[in-house]
Amino acid sequence: MEIKIYFTRTAQKNADEHYERSKKFALKIEGARKAAISLERLLAAARGDAQEKKRKVLRVAKKEWYEKFHWFFTSGNLLAVGGRDAKQNELVVSRHFENNDRFFHADIFGASVTILKGGEGSRREDREEAAWFAACYSSAWKNMSRTVDVYSVGYGQVSKSTAKGSLGAGSFLISGEREWFRSIPLALAMFVRDGKLHSAPLQAAARLGLERHATVEQGKLKKSEAAKRVSRITGFDDIDTIMQQLPAGTFSIRESSNPPAGVDK
């Protein structure tokens, strides 16, 4: 280490100058130490974010086939799936509609085709819940209709062919007697179970044993704001998934609860 001595200055002045220089170096060393600590924290946070993103990717990879559609499980634990648009309506019927299932559709132009898996011979309650679900994912929500009628038919009553040829995407020919569910009200319950966001007809919430959920009804909130409120109530932070599960239209969101099973209101 070299130290400059100025012979034109007194020993005291030389000492004072080197003391001041040493203080500046000490400040630089302390600044470098703090910068290193800050960098280590940033790196640790980045590693944490990377791990969280990895976990989210893994969760996405484990999605069930029906999660690409609108879906829910009835109080009798039957799966109901519905198309999000005309293309998905076509897909639901062509790939997932089987002989023992029931077909549900709101009696209005523009609605989700809802298939209740194992719906033939099911309880009336399960079919009602599937009808409520089909009602919510129809244009009645966006049109601000308070209720809508829904019908249900069996596998052999649904066709794509007419005397003039095949129908367009998402359209089906219905024949024979229909089971009707009249004046179905429009409201959903959104909640989290097993890490997944569920959307079920509100009327099924008590049957499902929900003690806390977001009640989704028609209102004035845009979909993005409604999704944020659902997220705050349910603790589910994937806003995109929430928005996908909301019907088309505007919303009113509130936190709700039901009494535990076996307890009267």
Per-residue pLDDT tens for 16-75? 665 566 666 666 666 667 777 877 788 777 777 666 655 554 445 478 999 999 999 999
End-to-end CA distance of the chain: 85
Question: Pick from 186, 205, 238: which residue ends a domain?
Answer: 186
Whether residues 81 and 135 fall in one domain: yes
Whether residues 73 and 174 fall in one domain: yes
Whether residues 211 and 250 fall in one domain: yes
Contact 103, 53 (CB under 8 A): no
Query: Predicted confidence band at 257 (pLDDT cuts at 50, 70, 90)?
Result: confident
Q: What is the mean pLDDT of the chain?
A: 86
Query: Predicted confidence band at 103 (pLDDT cuts at 50, 70, 90)?
Result: very high
Whether residues 121 and 214 fall in one domain: no
For residue 10, the model assigns a pLDDT of 74
For residue 242, the model assigns a pLDDT of 98
Q: Point out which residues pair with 79 in neighbouring strands.
A: 73
- Higher pLDDT residue, 162 or 67? 67
Q: What is the pTM of this model?
A: 0.73
pLDDT of 87 higher than 60:
yes
Name the DSSP class of 114. E
Contact 216, 253 (CB under 8 A): yes
Contacts of 107 (CB under 8 A, 6+ apart): 148, 149, 150, 151
Whether residues 194 and 171 fall in one domain: no
Instruction: Flag whether 265 is in a domain.
Output: no
For residue 209, the model assigns a pLDDT of 85
**How many domains, in total, are found in the chain?**
3
Query: Predicted confidence band at 263 (pLDDT cuts at 50, 70, 90)?
Result: very low
For residue 43, the model assigns a pLDDT of 77
Going from the C-alpha of 204 to that of each of 1, 173, 185, the distances in angstroms are 82, 30, 12
Q: Is 139 exposed, middle or buried (0-12, 13-18, 19+ CB in 10 A)?
A: middle
Query: Residue 28 belongs to what domain range?
Result: 11-62
